[in-house]
Amino acid sequence: MAEAIVVEDLCKEYRGRTGDRVMAVNKVSFSVHEGEIFGFIGPNGAGKTTTIKTLLGLLFPTSGKAMVMGKPAGDIEAKERISYLPESPYFYEHMTGAEVLDFYCRLFKMGGAARRKKVPELLDRVGLGKDGSRALRQYSKGMLQRVGIAQSLINDPDLLFFDEPTSGLDPIAHKDIQDLILSLRKQGKTVFLSSHQLSDVENVCNRVAIINRGELVKMGTMDELLHAGRTVITLAHLSADLLGKVQPLAEHVAEDGELTKIYTETEENVHKILDMTRGSANLVSVVPQRQTLEDLFVEIVREGRH
Amino acid sequence: MTIDKRKLLVAVVVVVIAAIVAIQLNLEPKYEKIVHAGKQIGDNKSGDMMAELPGQFIVASFTGFKQVIAGALWVRADEFFHRGHYHAIVPLVRMVTWLDPHNIDVYTTGAWHLDYNFVDYANTLSDKRYIPASIAFMKEGIRNNPNIWDLYFELGWTHYARKLMDNEMAAYYISEACKYDSVDVNTGAKQRRPEFVDRMKAHMLEKVGKLDEANEQWFAAHKRASKALEDYKKNPKAADWIDQSTIDLCNRNQSLLLLRRGWRYGDMKSYEQGLEIAERVKSPADWVQATSSARKDFESRKGKHWEGDAAKPVDAKFNASWLRAAPRVLVIKGTVNIIQASEYKGLASESFTRWYAENESAKADSKVKWRDGSRVYWRLQDADYVMPDVNKFDWTTNLENTVAWGDIYVGGGSFLTKLDMSDPRDLGMYPLKAEKYKLTIWMEPTDPGMPDFVQDRVGWRGEALMDKECIDTKTRPGYRLLKKEFILSRSDII
Amino acid sequence: MIIWAIARTTVGDALRKKILQVFLVVAIGLIVLSLSFSQTLSFSSQRGASSDFMLLKSFGLGMMALAGIFISLILGVTLIPQEFERRTIYTILAKPVKRYEFITGKFLGALMTLGIATGLMGATFIITIVLKAIGAQQAAASPTLGHVLGASAEKIALFDWNMVWAVILVYLQFMVLSSIVLLFSLIFTQTVNFFMGAAVYAVGFMSTVVISLGGAEGASSALRFFYKTVSYLLPRFDQFNIPNQLLHPETQVTNMGAYTGMMALYGLLYTLLALVVAILIFERKEV
Ligand SMILES: Nc1ncnc2c1ncn2[C@@H]1O[C@H](COP(=O)(O)OP(=O)(O)OP(=O)(O)O)[C@@H](O)[C@H]1O
Ligand SMILES: [Mg+2]
């Protein structure tokens, strides 16, 4: 499988005017496969936007490698095939929705006829068909976001960078964007989706990377990250002797009065423990625990704070 | 961007900078020619109009409304002229020209006011203390507008010739004027300098006795006028109007110069050349007649030894004196033996002018004994007053000084004038604060007010002038003039 | 094409700046008004119709210069930083737009905006003068009125090419000034840049003073060389500012059209210099 994005040991340091330095991205390595919806999540200030801007060539890496569509970040040819929706995008206010899209079409050297066809098509696609002739000054935040999405679809890109596409949007708009991403997935596009809106990512992403304080802390497919399911076996009246035998198989054991909760990681161990305790203790429940990304995220961020 | 492209761009930067410097080198003289800012003529402190001006005027020049401000100030200056606030005018006018250095009107009108219009009540004499300011102001105008003839001519004629009675300087500046043309205000096209400028140069050169140069100039003026006439005939719409009369004028004047040279100094070659040119002019009738009469005179003298009319000495018997008629009122009077009617008898110039013959044949009551119309000059000033050098003029006019001069008409061989400094309104102009005063009374053939017939008798440089005590050859080397000087004390006047 | 698209959008954006519109409207209004107040101020009693004209022209040129300098500074200072502030630059540079295309488009847009502003002011200015000239000619032609006004003696040209040169020279200096300020806007903050731009204008305007500093008594030859060099590199705004000379063409024996041509070349080179340096800087600038 070809890689849409390859990042190796990427570092980006900001130097303030006063000389203070911020390591916004620190030795980050990952790659995004073609056709994949890649979630890039982290709390505020984690370095998401910095990473995206570096991949687009808007910022220059302090060190490390950043390749996009097989070309170094910022390459003009690669830009023909990618697009970017910035965080709360903003456009020339004096223009109408149609005019601003026409302008962006021109940046792709599209001819007049092609633009006249493309612009209404895009407006329809993002649900602004009726508002194309209104000045952007009169647009709501959600409408501007839609214009942002429309401009990111002009060149029918293979790779899309969405930086927090749903922040500040109402649930319906939220849903529309999720649908859009899903349809892009169906078309085989690659989407690099940065967010701290975990619910978005959870539902649409194939793979997720979690970044905190500039460092990549966890990465994997949704299943790898979440299904790495622990199972909780709750027993009543477990003898201390038996507890001693079970403990090596368990990841974690918690006693709660009469009840003992045994956390295990693998299915094999679940069976072993059930076999060992069968009859000697009362089985209360066996619950396979699928962690939410939320939990994982909070857990990771908390860990980072220590 | 690749490193190579960056290098290329840096190279472009270097080339563009070099091109900018090259263009600037090329532009600088053009710009200088247009603006003439900061160009100094010699040690011309007076040229620095900005010196000693208040700083806020520099700010005014930034606003971009220079000409508007200048226009308003100029109106104000004009009010001052009419109200007689003379001292306020000099700085004001300087500001106007600093803001609007190419407004010719301001220079000519301003300098004219300074020279002519600060007049006393009793004698209608102008205040001569402002003459240096006036001249310096005109020179400033020339410095700012050196490419057109106007101001050179104005300075030479209106100021040096008419006011300072200095034909030498007048000749210099009018000669300068002849080096430049002007520009049409509306079309911006080059415009010919009028013909009279060139003729005036010849006249001025002649007046001061630079005869060869004057003759050359007549040739030049003639040539220029002929060319203009040709152009006009070819294309009457595009060229300025001119006709044969202008060329006749050159011919008549040039022939007169040559004829006079013959008459006054016995130069037969000039005499003959003069006649040849004079005979080319076929009108008016009296000119043709006078020319043929002169031709006869020439033929009668040809081959004989003759030194010219000016070789015969005239005893000027110059006598001048002053007296105090009342406190602050001086009377200047005298006699001068220039020129009795009989002096014209038998002069070569008579063949042409026939003045003596006509006077003789007139009826007894209209016959005159003296040929009147010459002028005597007087000048009263603080004994130690020296006119400030206009080339180093610092724009201050010392109003403690007393300087006055004027001319007196000579009639019947005598002259008389009254200088009344007693009017209370004139005390500012005649402060009489010095202890000693110098009163000079003089007469010179080259002065602009002197009629031609005086030079017919005594020569251009006063060669024939004799006098027991009053001949002066130092004031203007090479020239003879009559001069008498008195030193007066304050109490003599007050 | 891309450059053109960016330039066009920049013009549309710039022309909608309220402050620019205010300067433009006030300048145009005052130029039109000057038609009436040059009559009320009437210097004509002593100086004739031509001095009336001179006043009208001087005022118009001054007004254009003043308004234009502010417009140039405002445009130069804001155009590029606003792209950052409003984050419009991100979407543009994420497209296949080369950085030099963006900068060149911005420069071109600024110059076009200035061209429109100067064109509007200049056209008003020249039309005002022509209207006044027609009025003066009619007054002179009318036997009674012409006599009263004493205008008959003076011939007033309907159209004065020098005013065209003046408008062009005025535009050229805006071009140079805004290019320099655009370049500076990549380095300095807006307030700093505004005053830097004003300072560059003032120093360039007073280049002759800089040169004469070099000629001052006691200046060492090294110092003199330094000032001389500086004066050659400074944008010579004084050389664009010759309204006085253009108002008195009768005192010049110079082809103003040719001079304007030279100044145009000079101005274009200066703009090119600013542009290339700006490209070099922007190429390495993080956005
Ligand atoms: N231009 C800048 N100069 C200096 N520091 C910066 C700059 N931009 C971002 N930073 C710092 O770099 C770090 C990462 O910022 P970044 O914008 O990449 O975070 P983010 O993950 O996008 O956050 P958010 O979710 O709030 O958008 C932060 O600490 C931020 O303060
Ligand atoms: Mg961000």
Give the residue extent of every domain in chain C: 2-284
The DSSP bridge partners found for residue A65 are A8
Q: Measured between CA atoms, how close is C114 to chain B, in angstroms?
A: 18
Residue B7 makes CB contacts below 8 A (sequence gap 6+) with none
Shortest-distance Cα residue to atom 28 of ligand 1: A45
* Averaged pLDDT, B457-468: 90
CA atoms within 13 A of residue A158's CA, in its CB half-sphere:
16
Which residue carries 């009629």 as its tokens? B451
Per-residue pLDDT of B76-87, as tens digits, reads 777 777 766 777
Compare all CA atoms of chain A with the CA of C98 and give the residue at the minimum distance: A76
* Averaged pLDDT, B267-281: 91
Candidate from C202, C233, C249 with C-beta closest to B183: C249
Residue C240 makes CB contacts below 8 A (sequence gap 6+) with C169, C170, C172, C173, C176, C263, C267
Show the tokens assigned to C134: 């027609």
Residue contacts between A and C (CB atoms, under 8 Å): 72
A52 CA to centre of ligand 2 in angstroms: 9
Q: List strand residue ranges (DSSP E) for C25-133, in order.
A: none
Contact between B354 and B382 under an 8 Å Cβ cutoff? The reply is no
Give the mutation target among A50, A56, A59, A196 for probing the ligand 1 site: most ligand atoms within 8 A of CB: A50
Candidate from C205, C251, C265 with C-beta closest to B102: C251
pLDDT at position A67 is: 92
Q: Which residues of A touch C88 (CB under 8 A)?
A: 90-92
B132 closest CA partner among B337, B390, B309: B390
* C198 in contact with chain B, both atoms CB, cutoff 8 A: no
Contact between B322 and B332 under an 8 Å Cβ cutoff? The reply is yes
Q: Measured between CA atoms, how close is C92 to chain A, in angstroms?
A: 7
B259 closest CA partner among B343, B352, B339, B344: B352
Residue B343 makes CB contacts below 8 A (sequence gap 6+) with B314, B371, B457
Averaged pLDDT, groups of 10, chain C, 287 residues long: 93 90 91 69 48 74 87 93 90 93 95 95 91 75 53 60 88 94 93 91 76 64 77 83 70 76 93 95 88
Q: How far apart are CA C11 and CA C16, in angstroms?
A: 9
pLDDT at position C227 is: 75
Segments in chain A below pLDDT 50 = none
pLDDT at position C210 is: 64
Nearest atom in ligand 1 to A49's CA: 22
B466 closest CA partner among B308, B313, B265: B313
Residue B443 makes CB contacts below 8 A (sequence gap 6+) with B316, B318, B336, B338, B374, B375, B376, B377, B410, B481, B482, B483
pLDDT band at B45 (very low <50, low <70, confident <90, very high): very low
Q: In which element (H, E) is residue C76 found?
A: helix C44-85
Burial (0-12, 13-18, 19+ Cβ within 10 Å), B435: exposed
Whether the CB of A46 sits within 6 Å of ligand 1: yes
pLDDT band at B39 (very low <50, low <70, confident <90, very high): very low
pLDDT band at B42 (very low <50, low <70, confident <90, very high): very low
Name the DSSP letter for residue B108: H
Name the DSSP letter for residue C236: -
Compare all CA atoms of chain A with the CA of C87 and give the residue at the minimum distance: A90
Q: In which element (H, E) is residue A38 found?
A: strand A37-41
Nearest ligand, CA of residue A46?
1
Q: Which residues of B touch C211 (CB under 8 A)?
A: 38
- Say what the pTM is: 0.71
Name the DSSP letter for residue A24: E
The DSSP bridge partners found for residue B420 are B329
pLDDT value at B244 more than 80: yes
pLDDT value at B37 more than 50: no
Q: Measured between CA atoms, how close is C276 to chain B, in angstroms?
A: 7
Residue B6 makes CB contacts below 8 A (sequence gap 6+) with C280, C283
- The helix-helix angle for C190-205 and C161-184 (nearest 10°) equals 140
Q: Measured between CA atoms, how close is B24 to chain C, in angstroms?
A: 6
Residue C48 makes CB contacts below 8 A (sequence gap 6+) with C150, C151, C153, C154
Touch B-C: 3+ C-beta pairs under 8 A: yes
pLDDT at position C41 is: 47
Cite the DSSP H helix spans in B2-149: 3-35, 56-62, 66-83, 86-99, 104-112, 131-144
The identity of residue B477, as a single letter, is P
pLDDT at position A202 is: 78
Indicate the Cα dihedral angle B442, B448, B449, B453, nearest 10°.
Answer: 100
Q: How far apart are CA C279 and CA C179, in angstroms?
A: 12
Chain C positions with Cβ closer than 8 Å to A: 1-2, 5-6, 9, 12-13, 16, 86-88, 90-98, 284, 286-287
* Averaged pLDDT, B137-149: 87
Give the mutation target among A15, A49, A62 for probing the ligand 1 site: most ligand atoms within 8 A of CB: A49
pLDDT band at B437 (very low <50, low <70, confident <90, very high): very high
pLDDT at position B423 is: 87
User: Rounded to 5 degrees, what are φ and ψ at B258?
Assistant: -70, -40
pLDDT band at B102 (very low <50, low <70, confident <90, very high): confident
Are C43 and B184 a contacting pair at CB < 8 A?
Answer: no
Are C265 and B23 a contacting pair at CB < 8 A?
Answer: yes
CA atoms within 13 A of residue A83's CA, in its CB half-sphere:
21
Give, as residue ranges, everything with CB less than 5 Å from ion ligand 2: A 48-49
- The helix-helix angle for B104-112 and B66-83 (nearest 10°) equals 20
Show the tokens assigned to C273: 């210099």
Q: How far apart are CA B436 and CA B486, in angstroms?
A: 10
C236 CA to centre of ligand 1 in angstroms: 44
Shortest-distance Cα residue to atom 4 of ligand 1: A14
List Cβ<8 Å contacts ≥24 apart for C255-260: C256/B188, C256/C161, C256/C162, C256/C165, C257/C161, C257/C165, C259/B30, C259/B31, C259/B34, C259/C165, C260/C165, C260/C168, C260/C169
CA atoms within 13 A of residue A282's CA, in its CB half-sphere:
5
Contact between A213 and A304 under an 8 Å Cβ cutoff? The reply is yes
Contact between A106 and C7 under an 8 Å Cβ cutoff? The reply is no
Name the DSSP letter for residue B193: P
A36 CA to centre of ligand 1 in angstroms: 26
C182 closest CA partner among C1, C10, C12: C10
B206 closest CA partner among B453, B460, B457: B460
Whether the CB of A47 sits within 6 Å of ligand 1: yes
Q: Please state, rounded to an integer, the average pLDDT across all residues of chain B.
A: 84
Cite the DSSP H helix spans in A154-292: 171-186, 198-204, 222, 240-246, 267-277
Give the residue extent of every domain in chain B: 314-493
Per-residue pLDDT of B360-387, as tens digits, reads 888 888 888 888 888 999 999 999 998 8
pLDDT at position B44 is: 36
pLDDT at position B55 is: 40
pLDDT value at B61 more than 60: no
Question: Using omega within 30 degrees of 0 as the cis cutoff, is the peptide bond preceding B284 cis?
Answer: yes
A146 CA to centre of ligand 2 in angstroms: 18
Burial (0-12, 13-18, 19+ Cβ within 10 Å), B238: exposed
Show the tokens assigned to A50: 């910095």
Contact between B20 and C233 under an 8 Å Cβ cutoff? The reply is yes
The answer to whether the Cα torsion of C96, C98, C99, C104 is positive or negative is negative
The answer to whether the Cα torsion of A102, A104, A110, A111 is positive or negative is positive
Residue B24 makes CB contacts below 8 A (sequence gap 6+) with C232, C236, C266
The DSSP bridge partners found for residue B484 are B441
Whether the CB of A42 sits within 6 Å of ligand 1: yes
Show the tokens assigned to C79: 């155009």
Of residues B238 and C175, the one with the higher pLDDT is C175
pLDDT at position A206 is: 86
Q: How far apart are the first and last CA of chain C?
A: 23
Burial (0-12, 13-18, 19+ Cβ within 10 Å), B438: middle
Lowest mean pLDDT among B27-31, B116-120, B181-185, B209-213: B181-185
pLDDT at position A107 is: 93
Q: Which residues of A touch C284 (CB under 8 A)?
A: 60
pLDDT value at B340 more than 80: yes
Q: Could you tell me the CA-to-CA distances from B404 to B9, B231, B382 in Å, in that order? A: 73, 49, 10
Contact between A128 and A147 under an 8 Å Cβ cutoff? The reply is yes
